[in-house]
Structure 1
Amino acid sequence: MIKNMFRRGAVTLGATAMAVTALAGVAHADRGVAYIKPGQHSKAVACVQQGLRNAGYSIDVDGLYGNATYAALTDFQHNRGLSADGIVGPKTGDALYYGYLQPSGNLPQIEFCPTVIPTTR
């Protein structure tokens, strides 16, 4: 009887440990940041626009993803061998952030922008 209780306890403990381990990986997974697309109006769009300005594009930094932002972003993507779809995903986010925002030395850009634009790092 006691032997069976220990076996059941060991099986239950093992199953619990496996479940906790599996859930721990999910709970701490980086869910990522939403992609930035035409029509959006946000601080994330302003970061993209600032990155494009730093890259030499003459656009307003108003946080509204309109035609001028789309034209500048697709040109930026095309010139860097990225998919010129006008969507800021991790690869475009990397190019903007690590290529133009981070090196700018502007502390608010360096600290805030990677929290709202998708990157791979």
Structure 2
Amino acid sequence: MSMLRFAAACTLLCALFAMPATAETCTASHYGVGDGYHGRRTASGERFNTHALTAAHRTRRFGSHVTVTNKANGRAVTVRINDRGPFVRGRCIDLSHAAARAIGMGGLTRVTVE
């Protein structure tokens, strides 16, 4: 009977890890051009590169990849999380300049992050 419980537990864990991450819709901002962040250390320890497809998120793991879709035009980009932020209520992600440009983002933009 214990082998059956073990198999059930393994099946449940595999199903949980195979589930896609939850999507969130919020306002995105971008940073890195003219604000002095280029070349500084990010929270993950690497140097910030405004020309790389990276982003800051409050809770996602460093090194994880998320797809950010601009709700206004449907353009999407996959970015790697390497920093923490944004620390402004209502915003869920800060994109590098290159990532913001890839989805046609101006200032603040409604996006879906998944």
TM-score, normalized by the shorter chain, greater than 0.5 = no
Structure number having the greater helix percentage: 1
More strand by share: 2
Q: What is the TM-score with the length of structure 1 in the denominator?
A: 0.30
> Computing the radius of gyration over CA atoms, which structure comes out larger, 1 or 2?
1
Greater RCO (CA < 8 Å, at least 6 residues apart): 2
TM score, norm. by length of structure 2: 0.31
